[in-house]
Structure 1
């Protein structure tokens, strides 16, 4: 997370291959006015192509700056089915100034629609925070108390060189920034998250982004998006006023159909019907959406078409039997053709660049060759 109070970035789309890594995952991105007004499509592409689960948007800075893109970015991230959180760029250096900034951050977060229970992060990395260890610990705690009293969850973000040197960052807390050349070794695994780069490029979005790897479910609202969720366990979704009836889970599995089931072009009863399953048919899927009171499975046909089928009603009837799987559940093998990129293959088969690279031991995502066999 950088100090981002720059002007609106150019809206020109950058059609570039992402620079992926073999260990660090793009679980979370942070955005601000530096990235402009993010669209639902921007966030959806991050989710589907790169496995992004959570977003942290800048809310405020000091007691004088309110990020004008925050309200939009909160709404569009939620519409894309991502967990949304906020951050405040701290200028405080004692308890009174920390309290003033916390009150300002909370007021702006509420104004922008940041949902209660989201994480509101103190981004502590400025030279103005560079005071003595004891004073900064007290200031951070003062900020934390006001944030939590307002119904938000607190975390602290800082650079690796400041951890337990400028102030205390306990294990089991904290979001730590360190940008090493070698990204094949996980770092800061005893904290919530590790921000491993500040120059991530996402297909369809302009500019560059900070990317982070998550080590627990703190920034995803305490929910494991990779868990298999049964319909009976998700009756609450349509009643959750903060999230509405739209959620999604980056999960893999297989499904044995128990009744006649339409195959559609969208996770909706309005989606065009392009086929039909009969009882006893079987398919594997790579994502689950909750829409219109139904759980929908997404998968990619061997012809490369993305389609959807209802797994059942929320809190009600199951239309078959789900079995837990993982990213290699389908065991589909693709033979690389001339002109292919990992980005085009991932898009065609409903997976991610990082996922293909990790499953096939690819260190350089820009280097694949015709005839290479890839597990999707």
Structure 2
């Protein structure tokens, strides 16, 4: 999710029936995802049938104290704009301390951007104290605060961690069917739940069944009770009753007809898209990702980054230029530091946090962008973002400078000059090139 510690139809129905209440809800058995900064500015869904996203606003951890996710507001707007239900979660590493719980909730509850009534989950999977009752009290305090603020409280974790550190039955006594629990069969791509590893506990309302929902990694979840309808009119993400800027911006983008698409708008390439407007096949890695529109010609528009023409029917608007202005006027979360995780690259961290590799190198005294290590704390504040007028391209596996230059309509010499490249044969996947 999050920060991880990281046959018949009859049988399937029987397992679900035994595990959850039988009341019918519009969203029961809907699948969805959860997002943090790793899913980028606009987040990403795994499949066209996904109906909800639960989005990290930030939280508290032992390394940083209270921190914010810079992608929260734009991800909320993006989910709403795509007709999905957006919810919130808070990284809740408070141990058994009511004081830390209070400080965390005091900070984040006023900043929630999803609708009143929507889920606000407390992610309790790290930092538990040795006092099981104190841990439980801190969680209950947080859930009580969430409810008092007008949202639907949930508790997220793993079954073994919960059993070891929390009296979860006390949570269910006050908040029935409020558990969001994770259990994975393995780390193979898993598009649907494996009920053989379902966490057998009372009160599970959402089951996070994989962290590899798609190739490359993404958490997959299933709503067992209809709880992700909360905060929405009959589960309709277009009409939440809220005044929050992110949701209003998302509604605006969702209601924008394609015929009014403008240069500068952001679109997502549909998973069902097969061919570019020029007839070539659309690569799998493009689908589901978002791109700026940089040119329009009739029913076709040119996507920035991939520099390819796509038919209007194969993409959907997720943010208008006016929408992005609305979001930019909202209070912006700014992460001050970032702790390097396994698999991170400096270019990926820079992209996710709206800055540049050069800025991170300068701020952290890094001579070689490949020399970062797991657990390293990088400074982010004060970094200079790449101006919108500067176009960039992220190197992909199999690229070389001549191919990139041809794709971008420029020359190898121009790329070498603008990026200070000493050896034209030495570029690497994830490297961000200016052109």
Q: Normalising by structure 2, what TM-score?
A: 0.44
How far is the alpha carbon of 1:224 from its aligned partner? Answer: 9.5
- Provide, for residues 218-268 of structure 1, a one-character-per-residue CA deviation record: whole Å limited to 9, x for no partner: 122277979xx9xxxx9x959876777969xxxxxxxxxxxxxxxxxx996
Q: Which runs of 4+ in 1 moved over 4 A?
A: 22-26, 222-226, 236-247, 266-271
How far is the alpha carbon of 1:54 from its aligned partner? Answer: 0.9
Number of positions where the alignment pairs a residue of Structure 1 with one of Structure 2: 231
Asked whether the equivalents of residues 26 and 50 of structure 1 are also in contact (C-alpha less than 8 Å), the reply is no
Cα distance between partner residues in 2 of 1:168 and 1:241: 36
Pair 1:130–1:198, CA change in 2 (3 A): farther
Asked whether the equivalents of residues 143 and 153 of structure 2 are also in contact (C-alpha less than 8 Å), the reply is yes
Within the candidate set 200, 207, 220, 2:213 is matched to: 200
Equivalent position of 1:185 in the other structure: 195
Asked whether the equivalents of residues 90 and 129 of structure 1 are also in contact (C-alpha less than 8 Å), the reply is no
Aligned-CA RMSD value: 4.6
Within the candidate set 35, 57, 60, 1:59 is matched to: 57
Asked whether the equivalents of residues 198 and 209 of structure 1 are also in contact (C-alpha less than 8 Å), the reply is yes
Superposed, which structure 2 residues align to 1:299-314 within 5 Å?
Answer: none
Greater helix proportion: 2
How far is the alpha carbon of 1:145 from its aligned partner? Answer: 1.8
Superposed, which structure 2 residues align to 1:1-376 within 5 Å?
Answer: 1-3=1-3, 27-38=31-42, 42-43=44-45, 46=46, 49-62=47-60, 63-92=65-94, 93-107=96-110, 109-110=111-112, 113-126=113-126, 128-169=127-168, 170=172, 172-181=177-186, 183-185=193-195, 187-188=198-199, 190-201=203-214, 207-221=216-230, 237=239
- Provide, for residues 70-113 of structure 1, a one-character-per-residue CA deviation record: whole Å limited to 9, x for no partner: 01000000101111111111121221211111112213x33xx2
Q: Helix, strand or coil for the counterpart of 1:209?
A: coil
Cα distance between partner residues in 1 of 2:51 and 2:258: 26
Q: Helix, strand or coil for the counterpart of 1:98?
A: helix
Q: Helix, strand or coil for the counterpart of 2:55?
A: strand
Asked whether the equivalents of residues 56 and 84 of structure 1 are also in contact (C-alpha less than 8 Å), the reply is yes
Greater strand proportion: 1
Asked whether the equivalents of residues 26 and 211 of structure 1 are also in contact (C-alpha less than 8 Å), the reply is no
How far is the alpha carbon of 1:120 from its aligned partner? Answer: 0.9
Pair 1:167–1:268, CA change in 2 (3 A): same
Q: Helix, strand or coil for the counterpart of 1:64?
A: strand
Asked whether the equivalents of residues 194 and 209 of structure 2 are also in contact (C-alpha less than 8 Å), the reply is no
Q: Normalising by structure 1, what TM-score?
A: 0.50
